[in-house]
Structure 1
Amino acid sequence: MLSINNLSYYIGGRPLYENASLHIKPKDKIGLVGLNGTGKSTLLKIIAGNIQPSSGEIQKAKDCSIGFLNQDLLSYQSDESILDVALAAFKDTLSLHDEIEEVLKKMETDYSDEIINRLAYLQDRFEANEGYTIKAKAEEVLEGIGFVTKDLSRPLKTFSGGWRMRVMLAKLLLEKPSLLMLDEPTNHLDLPSIQWVENYLKTYEGAVIVVSHDQTFLDRCIETTVEVSQQTLTAYSGNYSFYKEEKKERQEIQQNAFENQQQMIKQTEKFIERFRAKASKSNQVQSRVKALERMDRVNEVIDDNAAVNFKFKFSKKSGRDVVVLDNVSKSYGDLTILKNTTIRIERGDKIALIGANGKGKSTLLRIIDGTEKIEGERSEGYNVIKSFFAQHQLEALNVNNEILQEMVQAGSDKSEMELRGVLGCFLFTNEDVFKKIKVLSGGEKSRVALAKTLISESNFLLLDEPTNHLDMQSVNILIQALEQFEGTFITVSHDRHFIKGVANKIWYIENHEIKEYLGTYDEYVDWKSKQVDHDDSKAPSPKKEPVAKKESKKSASVEEANEAKKQLKKLEKEFEEVEGEILKLEAEKKRIEFILADPTIYDRPSDLESANKEYLDVTFQEQKYNEQWEKLAEEIELLQEQLA
C-alpha cells in the first residue's frame, strides 16, 4: 500500500534519517516508538507530504488516502457546531444531500421527467452512501470520545484546544482513510475515551500508524512496533510488550557479537604492532590491516532504559492521618461534583484517582490541597508538608533561569552536585543543566517542574496528570522515583502503565461520592469486570427453547467438534514441523559455537565476521520458531480441552 525506500532527512547537517525503509500493508496496525527527538512526528509529516525528504522516495498506491491527526490541529477553530465539523467527513454525501434539496425546490414548479429521474438517481446514490445514517454515526463517535449529547450543537470555537482535538479525531475516524496516522492521540483523552478509541482501532478496516507514550494503549491496538533509532527504522512483529522483550534479546546477541569483535580487533592490532617492523611478516601484517579496514563494525548497545536511584529526604514525617474529608459537598451552580462524601488519606497511601473527564478529579485534588471552597469539613494531619504538581505550574517556571538555577531557587538546601544528580535522573546531563527554561519543549519543562516537586522534601504529593507530554523513558523514570518515595501521594492520570506502576489504592467518583478500592489497578479492573458480570447475571433467564431448536443446536455442536478435530490435526502437524526446524537450528547453532570457540579463528577476520553474522541469523530464526512453537502449543492445548 505504501513503501518508504532509502529515506534520508537532514536538519542542518544532522541526519534524522539515513537510508531508512519501511513497507506498510493494508490493515497493518503499527506503533511508532523511540526517544523524544528521534523523528517520529517528522516521519508522519513526511508520509503526509507536509515535509519533503532530503533523499529517497515514498511510493503509495493510487487509491491510498491518508488521514493525519497532529498537534497542529489544536489551533483549528470554526463557528460551526462540533457535529457539523465531524459531518464534514462525509463531504460527498453532504453534496448529494444539498443537490437533492435543490432538485426538490425545482420540482415545486417543474414536473418534467428529467427532473424526476434526476431526483431518483440522486436519492439512490445518497442511500448507497448510507446518507440516512451519517448523523447517527457522527453522534456515536463524538459521544464515544467523551462528548455529551447536549454539547453536539455547540460551536467548535467554544471548546478548549484539547476538546477541539477530539473533534478532529472524530472527523478523521469517520473519514476512514486507507492509512490513519495518529500523533499522540491519548494526550487529550480521558480513560473511558482512550478505551473506546482502542476498541475502534482494533476493528479499523484500514492501516494505522500511532505515535504514543501510552504503553497500554499501544499494547491494546497495535500488531507491529517500529522503532526509530540511530537514523533508521526497525520493525518488530508484535505489540509494545513483545517489542521490549524482543529488543532485549536482540541487544544481548548484538552485545555478544560486539564484544567478540572487539576481542578479535585487539588481537589483530597486537599482531600488527608486534610484527609491523619484520619484513618476513609484512604480507600478513598488510593482510590484517586491510581486513580491519574492510570490517563491518558491530555497534555497541546503547541502553536507553535509564535506571534511577532517587533519594528523598523528609525533614518531618507526617502523622497517620494525612487529610480527612468529612461530609464534604461541592457544586458549581447546578453542577454537583461531590455530595456528603467522607474519605481518609493515611500515611503511605499511593492513590490513583481515575475516571472520565468532567467528574471533578482536578477539583477533588484542589479540595484535598485546601485551595477549593467546600461545604463540610476538611482536616489536615500532623506534620503534613504538601507539594502540588499541575500543568499550570509549567507557566510558573522562570523562563529566564537556567535549569540548574531554577532548581537551586526551589530552596531544597541540596548541593549543586545533588541537584545535578536529580536532573540526571530526569535526563538532563552535562551541559543540558545550563539550558534556559524558555528554550525547552513542553516535555522538558514538565520534567523540570516534576524534579522541583520531588526535591521539595514534601511528605505528601498531589500530582495532576504528571505524565502529560512525557515520553516513555521519562514516564518510567517517574515510576521508579515514586516507587522509592516513602511518603504519601495522590495522582490523577489516564496513563494505565503509570497507574499500574505506582498505585496501591484506586479512587473514583461515582454518584457524587468518592469510592475507594484497596488494591492495584490490575486488581481493580478484574474486580470491576466481575461486578459487571454479576450485574448481567441478574438479568431474567431466557425462555426454554423448543425441542426442534435443541436438536439443531446438538447437530451444530457435532459439526463444531468435527471442525475442531480437523483444526487440531492441522495444528499438530504444523507443531511437528516447527519442532523439527528448531532441532535443525539448535544443531546449526552448536556447529557455529564450536567454530567460534576455536582460538585460531581470530587469525582469520573474514571467517570470524562470517561466523558472527551466521550466529546472529540462526539465533534470531530460532527465537522466531520458539515463539511459533509456544503459540501452537497453547492453541493445541485449548482445542484438546474443548474436545475433552
Structure 2
Amino acid sequence: MLSISNLSYFIGGRALYENANLHIKPKDKIGLVGQNGTGKSTLLKIISGDYQPSSGEVQKAKDCTIGFLNQDLLSYQSDDSILNVALEAFKETLALQDQIDEVLRQMETDHSEEIINRLARLQDQFEANEGYTIKAKAEEVLEGIGFKTQDLQKPLKTFSGGWRMRVMLAKLLLEKPSLLMLDEPTNHLDLPSIQWVENYLKTYEGAVIVVSHDQTFLDNCISTTVEVANHTLTVYAGNYSFYKHERKERMEIQQNAYENQQQMIKQTERFIERFRAKASKSNQVQSRIKALDRMDRVHEVVDDQVSVNFKFTFSQKSGRDVVVLDHVGKSYGDLKILENTTARIERGDKIALIGANGKGKSTLLRIIDGSEKISGKRSEGHNVIKSFFAQHQLEALTLDNEIIQEMGQSGSGKTETELRNVLGCFLFTNDDVFKKIKVLSGGEKSRVALAKTLISEANFLLLDEPTNHLDFQSVNILIQALQQYEGTFITVSHDRHFIKGVANKIWYIEDHQIKEYPGTYAEYEIWRANQVQQETKVEEKPAKKEEKKPRSPHDPEVQQAKKDLKKLEYQLEQIEKEVEKLESKQGELESELADPDLYSDEKKSSQIQDQYQKVKTELDQKNSDWEALVDQISELQELLN
C-alpha cells in the first residue's frame, strides 16, 4: 500500500534518517516508538507530504488516502457546530444532499419527467452512500470520545484546544482513510475516551500508524512496532510489550557480537603490531589490515534504561490521617461537582484519581490541597507537608534560571552533587544541568518541575497529570521514583501503565460522591468489568427447574448423542494435534524474527513476518474451534448424564 525506500532526511548537518526502509500493508496496525528527538513526528510528515526527504522516496498506491492527526490542528477554528465540522468527513454525500435540496426546490415549479428522474438518481446515490445514517455516525463518534449530546450543536470555536483536537480526531475517524496516522492521540483524551478509541482502532478497516507514549494504549491497538533509532527503522512483529521483550533479547545478542568482534579486532591489531616489521609476514599483515578496513563494525549497545538511585527523604512523618473530607459539597452555579461526600487519606496511601473529564478530578485535588472553597469540612492531619504538581507550574519555573539553580530553590537543602545526582535520574547529565529553563521543551520542563516536587521533602504529594509531555523513559523514571517514595500521594492520570505501577487505591467520582476501590488498578479493572456486566444483565425471574428424569440408554436421542460425542471427541483430538504443530511453527518463526541478521534481507524478513502473521491467525482460529468443540462436548455429556 505504501513503501518507504532508502529514506534519508537531514536537519542542518544532523541526520534523522539514513537509508531507512519500511513497507506498510493494508490493515497494518503500527506503533512508532523511539526516544524524543529521533524523528517520529517528522516521519509522519514525510509520509503525508508535508516534508520532502533529502533522498530516497515514499511510494503509495493510487487508491491510498492518508488522514493525519497532528498537534498543528490545535489551532483550527470554525464558527460551525462541532457536529457540522465532524460531518465534513462526508463531503461527497453532503454535496448530494445539496443537489437533492436544489432539485426539490425546482420541482415546486417544474414537474417534468426529466427532473423527477434526476431526483430518483440522486436519492439512489445518496442512499448508496448511507447518507441517511451519517448524522448518527458522527454523533456516535463524537459522544464516544467524550462529548455530551447537548454539546454537539455548540460552535467549535467555543471549545479549548484539547476539545477541538477531539473533533478533528472524530472527523478523521469518520473519513476512514486507507492510512490513518495519529500523533499522540491520547494527549487530549480522558480514560473512557482512550478506551473507546482503542476499541475503534482494533476493528478499523484501513492501516494505522500511531505515535504515542501511552504504553497500554499501544499494547491494546497495535500488532506491529517500528522503532526509530540510529537513523533507521527496525520492525518488531508484535505490540509494545512484545517489542520490549524482543528488543532486550536483540540488544543482548548485539552486545555479545560487539564484545566478540572487539576481542577479534584486538587480536588482529596485536598480530599486525607484532609482525609489521617482518618481511616474511608482510602479506599476512597487509591481509589483516585490509580485513579490518572492510569489516562491518557492530555498534556497542547503549543502555537507555535509567534507574532511580536516590532516596527521598523528608524531615518528619505525617500523622496517621493526612486529609479528611467530611460531608463536603462543591458546585459552580448549577454545575454540581460533589454533594455531601466524605473521604479520608491516610499515611502511606498511594491514590490514583481516575474517570472522565468534567467529573471534577482537578477540582477535588484543589479541595484536598485546601485551595478551593467548599461546603462541609476539610481537616488536615498532624505534620502534613504538601507539594502540589500541576501543568501550570511549568510556567512558574524561572525562565532565566539554569536547571541546577532552579533545583536549588526547592528548599531541600541538598548539595550541588546531590542535585546533579537527582537530575541525572531525570535524564539531565553533564552540562545539561546548566541549560536555561527558557530553552527547554515541554517534556524537559515537566521533568524539572517533577524533580523539584519530589525533592521538596514534602510528605504528601498532589500530582495533576504528571505524565503529560513525558516519553516512555521519563514515565518509567517517575514510576520508579514514586515506588520508592515513602510518603503519601494522590495523582490524577489517564495513563494506565503509570497508574498500575504506582497506586494502591483507586478513587473515582460517581453521582457526586467520592468512591474508593481499595486495591491496585489491575484489580479495579477486573472488579469494574464484573460490575458493568451485572448492571447490564437483564434481570429475569429464574424459571422453576423441572425435575430431571433418567433417560433410557435405548432412547434414540441418547444413542445419537453418544455417536455425536465420539465424533466430536475425535475432532477435538485432531485439532489439538494441529494446534501443537502450529505452536511449534510459531516458535520457530519467533526464533527467526529474533535474529538481527534477518533484517539485513528486507524481502526475507517481510516473508517471515507474513508467515508469522498467517500462522498466528490460523492458530487463533484453531483455538476458537477447540473452544467451540469443548462447549458442544460439554452439552452432550450433560445430556447423557
For normalisation by structure 2, the TM-score amounts to: 0.89
Pairwise CA RMSD: 3.3
Matches within 5 A, 1:573-588: 573=578, 575-576=580-581, 579=584
Query: Equivalent residues in 2 for 1:349-368 (5 A)?
Result: 349-368=349-368
Structure 2 residues without counterparts, runs of 5 or longer: 545-555, 635-641
Is residue 2:232 matched to residue 1:229?
no
Q: Can you list the C-alpha shifts for 1:65-115, whole angstroms capped at 9, x where unaligned?
A: 000000000011110000000000001100000111111111111111221
| Partner Cα separation in structure 2 for residue 112 and residue 582 of structure 1 | 71
Gap runs ≥5 in structure 1: 545-550, 590-608
* Correspondences of 1:130-279 after superposition (within 5 Å): 130-279=130-279
Per-residue CA deviations over 1:195-249 (Å, capped at 9, x if unaligned) read 0000000000000000000000000000000000000000111100011111111
| In 2: Cα distance, 1:378 partner to 1:255 partner | 57
1:371 counterpart SS class: coil
Match of 1:572 in 2: 577
Contact 2:93 2:131 in 1 (8 A): yes
Structure 1 residues 582 and 531, CA, compared in 2 at 3 Å: closer, same or farther? closer
Q: In structure 2, give the amino acid aligned to 1:569.
A: Q
Matches within 5 A, 1:336-355: 336-355=336-355
Change (3 A) 1:340 1:232: same
Which residue is 2:305 aligned to? 305
Superposed structure 1 runs of 4+ greater than 2 Å apart: 532-538, 541-544, 554-586, 627-644
Structure 1 residue 568, shift from structure 2 partner:
6.1
Question: Is the 1:85–1:171 contact (alpha carbons within 8 Å) kept by the matching residues of 2?
Answer: yes
Structure 1 residues 583 and 2: alpha-carbon distance in aligned structure 2, compared to 1, 3 A threshold: closer
**1:114-139: CA deviation from partner (whole Å, max 9, x where unpaired):** 21111111111111101111000000
Q: Is the 8 A contact 1:306 1:477 kept in 2?
A: yes
- Aligned-pair CA distance for 1:410: 2.3
For 2:579 and 2:270, the matched residues in 1 are separated by: 51
The residue aligned with 2:384 is 384
Q: Which residue of 2 aligns with 1:605?
A: none
In 2, the alpha carbon distance for the partners of 1:560 and 1:84 equals 58
Q: 1:57 to 1:580 in 2, by over 3 A?
A: closer
Distance 1:563 1:16, change over 3 A: farther
Corresponding position of 2:521: 521
- CA distance in structure 1 between the aligned counterparts of 2:119 and 2:371, rounded to whole angstroms: 63
Are 2:432 and 1:432 aligned?
yes
Find the aligned partners of 1:325 and 1:382 in 2 and give their Cα distance.
15
Q: Aligned AA for 1:523? A: E
The CA deviation at 1:461 is 0.3
Letter in 1 for 2:56: G
Post-superposition shift, 1:270?
Answer: 1.2
Matches within 5 A, 1:469-480: 469-480=469-480
Summarize deviations over 1:152-204 as a string: whole Å, max 9, x none. 00000000000000000000000000000000000000000000000000000
Opposite residue 139 of structure 1, the aligned amino acid is: E
Amino acid at match of 1:230: N
Residues 4-44 of structure 1 deviation map (CA, whole Å, 9 limit, x = unaligned): 00000001101000000000000000000000000000000
Q: What is aligned with 1:599?
A: none
Relative distance call for 1:585 and 1:141 in structure 2 (3 A) is: closer
Hey, what's the Cα distance between the residues in 2 that align with 1:252 and 1:86?
48
Preserved contact between residue 83 and residue 153 of structure 2 (Cα < 8 Å): yes
| Alignment partner of 1:416 is 2:396 | no
Residues 1:582 and 1:433: Cα distance change in structure 2 (over 3 Å) = closer
Deviation at 1:630, TM superposition (A): 14
Determine helix, strand or coil for the equivalent of 2:396. Answer: coil
Matched residue, 1:441: 441
Is this contact kept in 1: 2:80–2:155, CA < 8 A?
A: yes
**Alignment deviations for residues 345-400 of structure 1 (CA, whole Å, 9 cap, x no partner):** 00000000000000000000000000000000000001100000000111111111
What SS does the aligned partner of 1:406 have?
A: helix
CA contact (8 A) 2:575 2:626 kept: no
SS across alignment from 1:312: coil
| TM-score w.r.t. length of structure 1 | 0.89
Amino acid at match of 1:448: V
Structure 1 distance, partners of 2:491, 2:589, is 53
Secondary structure of the residue that 2:227 maps to in structure 1? strand
| Partner amino acid, structure 1, of 2:577 | E
Q: Deviations over 1:424-455 (max 9, x none)?
A: 11111111111111111111111111111111
| Aligned residue type for 1:360 | G
Aligned counterparts of 1:536 and 1:561: Cα–Cα separation in 2: 38
Q: Residues 557, 482 of structure 1: CA spacing in aligned structure 2 closer, same or farther, 3 A cutoff?
A: farther
Task: Tell me by how many angstroms 1:572 deviates.
Answer: 2.3
Q: Distance in 2 between matches of 1:271 and 1:169?
A: 63
Q: Which amino acid aligns with 1:485?
A: Y
Instruction: Give the Å deviation of 1:538.
Output: 5.5
State the one-letter code of the partner of 1:572.
K
